[in-house]
Structure formats: structure tokens, C-alpha cells
Amino acid sequence: MKDQRAIFLCGFMGAGKSSLGKALAKALGWPLLDTDQLLEERFGPIPQIFAQQGEGAFRQMEAQLARELAGKQGAVIATGGGFVLSEAVQEALEGCRLVYLAVPFETCYERIRGSNRPLVQRNSPQQLAALYEQRDAVYRRVCSILARNQGPLEESVAQLLKQVKA
């Protein structure tokens, strides 16, 4: 692929950013990075960061990481669901290749219900649905590629590969 800029996968919790990211990275022969995992390696478990330092601190950690990853080449980067929502991150990632993995709320919710993600623990299904609606608009505005991830994984990967190569 001519364009070697890293591919940032964005979207709501449960959209399948990590699983699609893994398959996409394999198809491209690129490494997969995961912002949640990188932050957990540096700062400890995310639920603990939220509980002890608050969501604001977590968002600042994400912004710092975004500045570090912005120039990355030849990697697939799965981001946390809130990663591209802040202005600081959007500024840092200007000119980067951002893909929105658009998956209906119901599908996301089935995957995340019962998980220990702080936002899932704190919010009712109705609140999460409202959050999804709010965020969907932002992901659409910020990301230049709109991808789907609903049928078989191989098809989603093949489709996304076409999109990123186009």
C-alpha cells in the first residue's frame, strides 16, 4: 500500500475495533497497537484509573498518547471508544488516517453489557444509547473513512482494505 500512514480504528465500545484491528493488521503485515493496552501498561488497569484519578485524567493520558502516535507509519491502531472525542486528540491527530467502525448500538451493547468498563458500570442502557447517539455524530465528523463491521470478519476486513487502498 502506497499510503503508509497508520490506520486508527475508532468507534463505540463493542464495535469490534480490537478484533477487526487484529485481522486487518495481519492482512497488511503490520503490527497492531491498542491505545487502552498501551495506557494500561503505563498507568495500570483502566477501571482503577477512572476510580482513583477520574475520567479527566484518563482523557489527558489519551491526549498525550495521541501526540506520540500521530506520526506513526505502518501500524493499525485500535483506539478506546472515547479516544477521538476530545479536541486535544482531534488536534493531535489532524492529517491522520481515521476510520470509524460504525456498528449499531444494539450490537455494541450485546458485546459490552456486563463488562467492567467504567462507563458501562456507571450508565444505564438508556444512558449508553444516548451516549452512542452523541458520539456517532462526532466519529462521523472526525473520521474520513466510514467502515462497517457486522457480517463475517473476513468480509469486513476485505471491505475495509478496499476502502483504505482506494
Binding residues for ligand S3P, rule: CB under 6 A, are: 13, 17, 36, 46, 80-82, 117-119
Min separation Cβ 159 and ligand S3P, Å: 21
**Nearer residue to ligand S3P within complex by CB, 30 or 50:** 50
Q: Which residue in the block uniquely carries the three cell numbers 465528523? A: 141
Beta carbons of 76 and 30 less than 8 angstroms apart:
yes
Q: How many Cα neighbours within 13 Å face the side chain of 160?
A: 33
Helix (H, G, I), strand (E, B) or coil at 90: helix
**Nearer residue to ligand S3P within complex by CB, 5 or 43:** 43
- The neighbour count for residue 149, using CB atoms within 10 Å, is 22
Min separation Cβ 154 and ligand S3P, Å: 22
Min separation Cβ 81 and ligand S3P, Å: 3
**Nearer residue to ligand S3P within complex by CB, 32 or 82:** 82
**Nearer residue to ligand S3P within complex by CB, 32 or 46:** 46
Min separation Cβ 92 and ligand S3P, Å: 16
Q: What is the grid cell recorded at 14?
A: 463493542
- Dist CA 70 CA 80 (whole Å): 15
Q: Which one, of 113, 104, 47, lies nearest residue 80 by Cα?
A: 47
Min separation Cβ 164 and ligand S3P, Å: 20
Q: What is the grid cell recorded at 119?
A: 462507563
**Nearer residue to ligand S3P within complex by CB, 120 or 158:** 120
